[in-house]
Chain A
Amino acid sequence: MSDSVIEAFRPLFEPKTVAVVGASTKGAALPNVFIRRIREFGYTGAIYPIHPSAGEIDGLKAYRNLGETPEPVDYAYIAIAAAQVPPLLREARGRVRFAQVISSGFGEVDEGRELQDELVAAARAGGARLIGPNCLGIYTPRGRVTFTEIGPEETGPVGIVSQSGGLGTDIIRRGLSRGLVFSGLITVGNCADVGPNELLEYFGADPQTRVIGMYIETARDGRRLFEILRATRAAKPVVILKGGRTSQGRAAAISHTGSLAGDDRAWVALSKQTGCVLVETLDEFIDTLLIFQTLTPQPRHPTRRVALFGNGGGASVLATDYYARLGLDVTPFGKEAVDALVALKLPPGTSITNPVDCPVGTLQQDDGRVAEKILEIIYGIGKPDALVMHLNLSAFAGRTKPEVLDNLVQAALRVQARYPGQAHFVLVLRSDGEPALEERKRAFRASAVALGIPVYDEMADAGRALAALQTHERFKSSRRL
């Protein structure tokens, strides 16, 4: 089963032949941009522009229709007027495997419903699987195909299905700047044929994907989604950003049960029964995907006890309260750990119970070696399930050598390595938005994520991501998975 879904979708994620419909001889239309982007992205397979009259487009030989290309088409990118798409697909004569229809004017508007039915019938008659319509494209680094102007060539662990094209672009752009690396992202629009469920199965089977994110507006076949998620038993974390969770309110319920069953109840139930994680905002979606990209879930000891370590007393007090509401404990260490920390004779102004709050001076003492001693005690005696190290960059600015941050992270990684699998390590880099500081943070974030450390802007963001990790870990723990 898993091999067959991989094989079925290989032409989509690793196309050897790409047809582009809608490119103009003037080179200005969206499909022309698509041709340029995939060439820049390193796509080396055949590209067949389809055009009713032109002999050549962007220096490539053009063909009259999808049935006349020299080789069968793995992936067709189609952006022409909606009414022209069904006749085009009918001519494919079984020679197109996947047709992604970018064009809109189908089922998303009342007057396009019939045309969408016609589109589905035409794709079926022509033998193609249909993606879309009303979407933006696919970003698949392994196939060197992309619809966006940016995106690293590296194939990462995060697989995304998005029912919204625009949000798909946001996920790529904002995700990349936070350190996400994608195994693929596909926008599926109206899902007239291929929908989120099949792609969930693909990413579930794909060995390169370790975490799956879905933006869903309407689950056309929610039951199938439930069955797939239930059958896969949270083998990979699945993060769902659901649009329209609150809209419904069942109009004409007769029973108590009916009146209590808003749309949201089913999604919450889905999460409880399958371990998938529900998030509410784009930022939370990205933050949650990042924690699953970087950390290994520990179902044997689900995350609960968190130690906070860094500079910022008030900020850590606030975080302690917030974490408690998320179901995370920032409880003071026991006597043994406190005694060991007292014995370090830290300078005044250092609070040592948990949160451990150190002034910048303490953190940079001895090139971070004091911090390493503190962390050693936290890990060795305090034994939290997660450690959040938070550094307020504004307090470091102008007072410290640039390598202090590096020293601190290296110290933390050394301690982490001495206690493998014991505690999740999360970094929070706080700043005040000052441009030079932001620049420093950006660079540092990239190198930290590359080392497998999730980095967040605020302790609250880190807390929500840890709570999501906890949801996944607890589900697996409760089902002995």
Chain B
Amino acid sequence: MSGFEAIAEARKQGRAALDEGAGKQLLASFGVVVPKSLVVQDASEVRAAFGRLNPPLVLKVLSPDILHKSEARAVWLGITSGEELATACEEVLASVRAYKKDARIEGFLVEEMAAAGQEIVVGGVRDPQFGPLVMVGLGGIFVEVLADVSFRICPITRQDAEEMLDELKGAALLRGARGRKPVSREAIVDVLLKVGGEGGVLMAHAQDIAEADINPLIVSEHGAVAVDARFVLTQAMD
């Protein structure tokens, strides 16, 4: 399914946002690496799914009514057996029900867990005057508490992307401060260009995407994986 089809489908169903699976498909169609994944309907299907992916795995609920999955405890990490996967499925379902009784549940996303690395946030927003903007920041408190982020107007050039990273107060962490391994700067720049560059996601779908969060993008020495993705659609008359 192309990005346009995924967006059209979401609109047809009256959704305000793409679900995580569709969001990742959209990213993958632009060449951003996303975890290998499957969608299952319930616990009865998960054992078969287990054999088709490389553990450890992650299980997440797919629901248009749950915007913040970790808040709803709708994510289970580090699954290493089929049995554990089935348990995770039941537990997550129970948590979601406890969090929001009438949440619509459209299945579960089972995916390979990304290797550890630096968490980055890449985002996008449609500015009423300037059109799409792209953002980058370091994950966790850097974004949420310190607002240590940098924005650019799309489409960005490679140099813009490099300068965005240089501008972050936490930039030293990417170079391997405090005994950590340096992460692949090139991989982050590459994702920024695929999202915010010429012909990237935000430019190609400028009319449809109101807001975007890739949070986190996990970056290691070798590459970057988009572990969660949310695309909020523009209002019909926006």
Contacts and interface: CB of A to CB of B under 8 A. Distances in A.
B115 interface: no
A220 interface: yes
Given A261-B127, A261-B133, A266-B133, A255 B159 contact: no
A256 B129 contact: no
B232 interface: yes
Interface string B226-238: 0000101000000
Interface stretch (A268-276, A336-344, A388-396, A446-454): A268-276
B152 interface: yes
A158 B17 CA distance: 48
B149 A222 contact: no
Interface in B117-157: 121, 123-125, 127, 129-131, 133, 135, 137, 143-144, 147, 149-153, 156
Given A266-B129, A268-B151, A269-B153, A257 B211 contact: yes
A87 interface: no
A269 B133 contact: yes
Nearest to B230: A255
A44 interface: no
B152 A255 contact: no
Contact of A266 (B130, B210, B230): B130
B215 interface: yes
Given A255-B211, A256-B213, A478-B159, A261 B125 contact: yes
A255 B135 CA distance: 12
Among A226, A258, A270, A273, find the residue whose CB has the most chain B CB atoms closer than 10 A: A258
Place the interface of chain B in its size category: 20 to 34
Given A222-B130, A261-B127, A273 B211 contact: no
B59 interface: no
A442 interface: no
Interface in A212-268: 218-223, 226, 250, 253-258, 260-261, 263, 265-266, 268
Contact of B129 (A219, A254, A479): A219
Interface residues of A, number: 26
Contacts of A270: 130, 153
B159 A257 contact: no
Nearest to A261: B125
A219 B127 CA distance: 11
A273 B130 contact: no
A266 B127 contact: yes
A18 B152 CA distance: 44
Contacts of A220: 129
A479 B163 CA distance: 12
Nearest to B144: A256
B153 A226 contact: yes
B186 interface: no
Contacts of A257: 121, 123-125, 135, 149, 211-213
B130 A260 contact: no
Nearest to A250: B125
Among A263, A265, A269, A270, find the residue whose CB has the most chain B CB atoms closer than 10 A: A269
Given A254-B211, A255-B211, A257-B212, A269 B129 contact: no
Contacts of B211: 253-255, 257-258
B39 to A, nearest CB: 23
A223 B232 contact: no
Contact of B160 (A219, A266, A273): A273
Given A266-B130, A272-B152, A273-B153, A479 B123 contact: no
Contacts of B212: 255, 257
Interface in B153-211: 153, 156, 159-160, 163, 167, 210-211
B98 interface: no
A320 B155 CA distance: 39
Contacts of B131: 222-223
Contact of B135 (A253, A260, A272, A478): A260
Interface in A441-481: 478-479
Given A257-B135, A270-B153, A222 B213 contact: no
B77 interface: no
Contacts of B230: 255
Nearest to A221: B129
A388 B199 CA distance: 47
Among A222, A250, A260, A273, find the residue whose CB has the most chain B CB atoms closer than 10 A: A260
B17 to A, nearest CB: 8
Nearest to B156: A273
B160 A256 contact: no
25 contacts: A218-B129, A220-B129, A222-B127, A222-B131, A223-B129, A223-B130, A254-B67, A254-B211, A255-B213, A257-B121, A257-B125, A257-B149, A257-B212, A260-B135, A260-B137, A260-B147, A261-B133, A265-B151, A266-B151, A266-B153, A268-B151, A269-B153, A270-B153, A272-B152, A272-B163
Given A220-B129, A261-B151, A268-B151, 12 more contacts: A221-B129, A253-B211, A254-B211, A255-B211, A256-B123, A256-B144, A257-B125, A266-B127, A266-B133, A266-B153, A269-B133, A272-B163
Q: Enumerate the 7 nearest inter-chain pairs by beta-carbon distance, A residue then B residue, closest first.
A: A257-B123, A222-B129, A222-B130, A255-B211, A258-B211, A265-B151, A255-B213
